[in-house]
Structure 1
Amino acid sequence: MANNIRGGVGHSHTVYASAARTATPDTEELELPKGTRFITAVIDVTAVTATPALTLKIEGVDRASGKVWTLIEDAAVSTVSTGTLHVGPGLTAAANVTANAMVPPVVRFTVTHGDADSATYSVGAHFS
């Protein structure tokens, strides 16, 4: 799967614009603003057909080796809803919601589709 790589993003960024999708879109890699310590990602599902089972994952990226590691992954979403994921040092960890982790300079976002059911959603990310 190809990556979309975006450098020099601002403190708020549209990772995936609102659209109906039936399959996992390309991953989105973002070079974060210098000094970024915290990430809040928002997935807003506004329409579903049947049970699409969407899973949002944020990974760290090591550009030297090309390796990635999971920072946080939410529980599968199959209904109209809005969810948030938080990553940062000193946060109280909570499964599928908050990760107590350092934020690397490059992160990758992926929304995995569990099946071919349609879902309309957007993903936004905010950095501080």
Structure 2
Amino acid sequence: MVYEDAHTLAFFPLAPATRGHTLVVPRAHSADLWAMDEADAQRLFHTVMVVGRALRAVLGPDGMNIINSAGAVATQSVFHTHVHLVPRRPGDAMGPIWPPKGEGFRDEDDAATDALGARLTAALAGPAR
């Protein structure tokens, strides 16, 4: 355990991806971010910032991935909300987390992209979720 408060815990995983890799978890159970109460989500990300800044101060990494996976297809394997803080250095064991340039999603249908943008804008303008 490297940090805890009334709402969250932070600790090193058993199989870290890099030196300093830390998990931040809420004490209250939720399967994933989508199931979290708004106040619990705010507390979780407050701890992510506190621990992330401490990792940066102590380790001086060149970068850091902050990773949350929601759902099995997104590689979630533990169904209790958690956030990975992964300090990064060139050549570390993590490797890239995005598809190689030019191999990502491409929507050749501008009308479909415009419709998606309009639907998202409307959803965000609706009642708070």
User: What TM-score, normalized to structure 2?
Assistant: 0.32
| More strand, by proportion | 1
Higher helix share: 2
Could you say which structure has the greater relative contact order, defined with CA pairs below 8 angstroms and 6 or more residues apart? 1
Higher Rg: 2
